[in-house]
Structure 1
Amino acid sequence: MAYKGLSNPVEGTIHTVGRDASSGAVEEASNANNEPLSVMEAAVSAAGDSVADTPKLLPVLKEAGVVDAGGQGLYTILDGIRRYLGGETEVMQFKKPQMIVSSIPLAGRLPQAAAADEEIYGYCTEFMLKGEGLDSAKIRARLQKKGQSLIVVGDDATVRVHIHTEDPGSVLHYISSLGTIHQVSIRNMDEQHRDFLEMQKEKMPPAEIAVVAVVSGDGLGEVFKSLGAEAIVPGGQTMNPSTKDLLWAVESVASDKVIILPNNKNIVLTAEQVQSLTTKGIKVVPSKTIPQGVAALLALDYEVDLEANARMMEASSSRVKTIEVTHASRSTKVGGLKIKKKQAIGLLDDVLEAVGDSPAEVLHHVLAKLDLGRAEIVTIYLGADTQPAEAEEVKAAIQEQHPEVEVEVVEGGQPHYNYIVSVE
């Protein structure tokens, strides 16, 4: 199918490796011993030989002394499946993938991989065409002169197209005459390439101390990354990560000194178990909320050692007040407050303080219990289901009562919590 979709299949690429791996698997499956593991072992063996031979098929690889990067990647995926089928699941995530060395002597001295068919100029244009009586072969022939890396696959009702072209407008103009266009994606590869080069120039050497943070929500993940966290482990309320998840994150960073921010009271003990499972130096700063984790990360100082950083970060996290607004999972009574299922509830440092029908209303009630006149900054992290307009109203109300306090609104994207608020 992959070969049919390409306008000009090039041998010595991932497509060759895929075909050879498939042939090896089919041959093994036709034998008496056709267990899944033996079939996958045959596929991996054939893929490895094929990757090593890619420079023989593609002159640019032979000249550079490298093997094809796409083929190497496919080999790594297949080998991962083989290891899983072979019962290596407990250790496979820590095993570095084998890099295939070219069978050509020059490449044997330079075993790094390179993408032979990579294009970086023009516009990467992708879309789906829907119509009646569509002819993939005719579309492919018509578009072949309009760009490179052309892929056309589909049937008489739906066709998907990928092309690198300097003039995406002319491509879309032609395609629109055949039917309706959907899922259009046009990316400027020149711009992407320039951005990549600039990023490489600005990239700092790996820090001596790395931070692993447990975070739930894309927005919160970006916050922690922007503050210097090198690894983000998805997790939080109702979705606690395992010790293995945290250990994998610790092993994935380059530094041999790591600080873990659990950001949830239920994850602190799990994080502490990692210390005995790795040879790396590990310190757990017992942050129990997202605001505590942010405050801790802001206190990180790369000029001091691991132990001193852990002390400073823990001290900084303890000075932050955390408000969390969520919904009750059941009807109950806590501390004299009657709660109905699905009502909004507000917690201040994990203590229930307010109940109401509106998350914004509950947030105001909890904020009223704090002396905001002594605060410097209030940061409001919006949950996945919270509308920004509602949060702006909350922000305006705080600033009206306390104009001296700086208020920030951040789209955290966290589930379950309409608001997570940091008061410093």
Structure 2
Amino acid sequence: MSGNKEVITGSDFKRMVMGAYSEFLLEYESINALKGGGTLPGTHILRTMGAAVQPLADTKDDGIGGLSRRVAAAAIFGARGSSGVVLAQLFRGIGKGLLGKYNATSSEFGKAFQYGILYAQRVLPDSPERPIITVAKAVAKGAYHAVRANVPITEILAAAIDAGEDALMRIGREDAGARIMFTFLNGCMKGLDGNFVSPGMSLSLGLEAKSGMPDPRADKVAPYCLQFRVKNANTDTDALRRQLKEIATFVQLMRQHGGVAIHLHTDHPGAVLEQAVGWGPLRDMRVTNMSETHALTPQDAVMPVATVAVADSEAAAKDWQRAGASIVVAGSSDACPSVSELVNAAHSDFAETYVLVAASRDYRLVFEQARRLLGSRVELVLTESEDQAKKALAAFDAQQSAKKNAARMQAAADA
């Protein structure tokens, strides 16, 4: 074993993530042209990466463990399409492997990367084995041997790429998933070397306007649920709501026990609390990372069970509501709804439980990811067309539980 003493810092990790995003900016259209990964997998992966890089712009955390956790939370919450969910799980595994570390050795980072590959594999069905799974297994094996040899991180990434390319040659075909894996690895290597075009510079030059490139600011997510009470009977709730909407996405206020109970979603809970100390004494503070499995406690829900569907326009939304959808989330096969949009719908406390109805195969992994995060308050009905989804909605019975409704609705869709 060599005496490699390399240390990977938070700054190194930032450059790797930005390098990967830069590489996807260059490759997403060619990924869209490949089979596998659903409709427009390149666009979905780019938008997921757009959500992932947002926390790097203004975070004050310099440690690699804290940064990787923030990136993972944003990626999981901002994931779009099957490809986006797989990438988010890759970041999740890396974050788990780096948890609590300020810096990491090459070996520690290599092991964290292996965790990432394993997490990404878990969300994909084992049969039939897709090229992305075959490549991922080979990449993990290549990384394992390089980690054992205690070589620098660039050599670990190079060994992973070489092993994946050998596996792809044996398969004899490439799909979008395999290309995504190689694009990510190559981008990380370029980021470490500083050999990449700055995504910020690309966007400032107006490339998104010329080519229809997604603007990452549109995919910024608020993965932290913050709940607390302000003990001040004189609080102006309307003024407070306006102020909170400037720093949070979802905001609920309720007068309670001589004060105000606040429930909001934000990407910087500390910034909210820093302002809140001036509103009055704070009580019962709770911060939940919604990108991890968590339990929701419904507050004064309007109904016991509600249905959620996806629509690509206002007219389509009205059509889905006429078909029986209680809540409609914006999205389409080309612009898949993000995990955060589905989770936010459930956090609205419109109902105690929800049945999410997917009208496209492209939605499946995103819907399944939302259910993993929300647990028993959510059930899924997975269909492959709008006609099937509307048959499912027609079978909804408001007197039945979410679980019983999901079973009868799925049966109606499959009939």
Choose between structure 1 and 2: higher helix proportion.
2
More strand by share: 1
- TM-score normalised by L of structure 1: 0.31
**Greater RCO (CA < 8 Å, at least 6 residues apart):** 2
TM-score, normalised via structure 2 length: 0.31
Q: Who wins on radius of gyration, i.e. which is larger?
A: 1
